[in-house]
Structure 1
Amino acid sequence: MTSNDGRSASVAVSARSVVKEFGSGNSVVRALDDVDIDIRENEFFTLLGPSGCGKTTLLRIIAGFELPTSGTVLLGGKDITALPPNERPVNTVFQSYALFPHMTVAQNIGFGLRMLGEPAGKIDERVSRMLRLVQMEPMADRRTDQLSGGQQQRVALARALAPAPKVLLLDEPLAALDLKLRKNMQIELKSLQAETGITFIFVTHDQEEALTMSDRIAVMRSGQILQVGSPREIYDAPTHRFVADFIGEINILSGQIGAASGDRAKVTLKDGTALEARTPEGWTGSGEVAVAVRPEAARLAVGGEAATIEGTLENLVYFGAASHLHLRLGTGEEFVIRHSGATPGLSLTPGARIGAVIPPDQARVLE
Structure 2
Amino acid sequence: MAIEDAIEARSARKVYGSGPKEVVALDDVSIAIRKGEFFTLLGPSGCGKTTLLRMIAGFETPTAGQILLNGRDITEEPPNRRPVNTVFQSYALFPHLTVRENVGFGLVMRGRPSAEVTQTVDRALSLVRLEEMADRKPQQLSGGQQQRVALARALAPSPEVLLLDEPLSALDLKLRKEMQSELKRLQLELGITFIFVTHDQEEALTMSDRIAVMSAGRLLQVGSPREIYNHPVNRFVADFIGETNFLPGEVRGGVAKIAGGVAIPVDAAAPEGRHTLAVRPEHVRIVPAGPDALLTATVGEAVYFGTDSHVHLRLADGAGLVARYQAEAAGGDAPPVGTEVGVTFAPGAVQVLED
Q: Same fold (TM over 0.5)?
A: yes
Task: Give the superposed CA RMSD.
Answer: 1.9
Deviation at 1:346, TM superposition (A): 10
Give me the whole-angstrom Cα distance separating, in 1, the residues matched to 2:333 and 2:145. 52
The aligned counterpart of 1:262 is: none
**1:313–1:351 Cα contact (<8 Å) kept:** yes
Deviation at 1:305, TM superposition (A): 6.6
Which digits, 9 at most, give the CA deviation of each residue in 1:24-63, with x for residues without a partner? 1111010111001000111100000001101001100110
The aligned counterpart of 1:292 is: 278
Deviation at 1:211, TM superposition (A): 0.7
The aligned counterpart of 1:4 is: none
**2:290–2:342 Cα contact (<8 Å) kept:** no
Question: Does 2:125 correspond to 1:131?
Answer: yes
Amino acid at match of 1:364: Q
Give me the whole-angstrom Cα distance separating, in 1, the residues matched to 2:289 and 2:15. 59
The aligned counterpart of 1:41 is: 35
Give me the whole-angstrom Cα distance separating, in 1, the residues matched to 2:133 and 2:332. 61
Give me the whole-angstrom Cα distance separating, in 1, the residues matched to 2:194 and 2:296. 46
Give me the whole-angstrom Cα distance separating, in 1, the residues matched to 2:182 and 2:334. 45
The aligned counterpart of 2:143 is: 149
**1:167–1:200 Cα contact (<8 Å) kept:** yes
Give me the whole-angstrom Cα distance separating, in 2, the residues matched to 1:246 and 1:88. 33
Question: Does 2:43 correspond to 1:56?
Answer: no
Q: 1:364 aligns with which of 333, 336, 351?
A: 351
The aligned counterpart of 1:267 is: 256
Q: 1:304 to 1:328 in 2, by over 3 A?
A: closer
Amino acid at match of 2:305: F
Q: 2:83 aligns with which of 73, 81, 89?
A: 89
Deviation at 1:287, TM superposition (A): 2.0
Deviation at 1:312, TM superposition (A): 1.4
Identity, in percent, stands at 60
Give me the whole-angstrom Cα distance separating, in 2, the residues matched to 1:358 and 1:185. 36
Query: Which range is displaced more, 212-221 or 316-325?
Result: 316-325
Q: 2:294 aligns with which of 296, 302, 308?
A: 308
Give me the whole-angstrom Cα distance separating, in 2, the residues matched to 1:244 and 1:278. 17
Query: Which range is displaced more, 163-172 or 350-359?
Result: 350-359
- The size of the alignment, in residue pairs, is 353
Amino acid at match of 1:113: L
Amino acid at match of 2:316: G
Give me the whole-angstrom Cα distance separating, in 1, the residues matched to 2:333 and 2:151. 54
Amino acid at match of 2:277: V
Deviation at 1:322, TM superposition (A): 1.4
| Structure 2: gaps spanning 5 or more residues | none
**1:295–1:337 Cα contact (<8 Å) kept:** yes
The aligned counterpart of 2:214 is: 220
Give me the whole-angstrom Cα distance separating, in 2, the residues matched to 1:304 and 1:134. 58
The aligned counterpart of 1:320 is: 306
| Structure 1: gaps spanning 5 or more residues | 2-7, 260-264
Q: 1:245 aligns with which of 239, 251, 259?
A: 239
Question: Does 2:177 correspond to 1:188?
Answer: no
Deviation at 1:344, TM superposition (A): 7.4
Local SS of the residue matching 1:278: coil
Local SS of the residue matching 1:362: coil
Amino acid at match of 1:60: R
Q: 1:65 to 1:347 in 2, by over 3 A?
A: closer
Q: 1:106 aligns with which of 97, 100, 119?
A: 100
Q: 2:315 aligns with which of 307, 329, 353?
A: 329
Deviation at 1:120, TM superposition (A): 1.2
Give me the whole-angstrom Cα distance separating, in 2, the residues matched to 1:19 and 1:303. 54
Give me the whole-angstrom Cα distance separating, in 2, the residues matched to 1:135 and 1:176. 20
Give me the whole-angstrom Cα distance separating, in 2, the residues matched to 1:49 and 1:164. 29
**1:244–1:292 Cα contact (<8 Å) kept:** yes
Q: 1:92 to 1:347 in 2, by over 3 A?
A: closer
The aligned counterpart of 2:156 is: 162
Give me the whole-angstrom Cα distance separating, in 2, the residues matched to 1:207 and 1:278. 26
Q: 1:66 to 1:128 in 2, by over 3 A?
A: same
Give me the whole-angstrom Cα distance separating, in 2, the residues matched to 1:182 and 1:168. 19
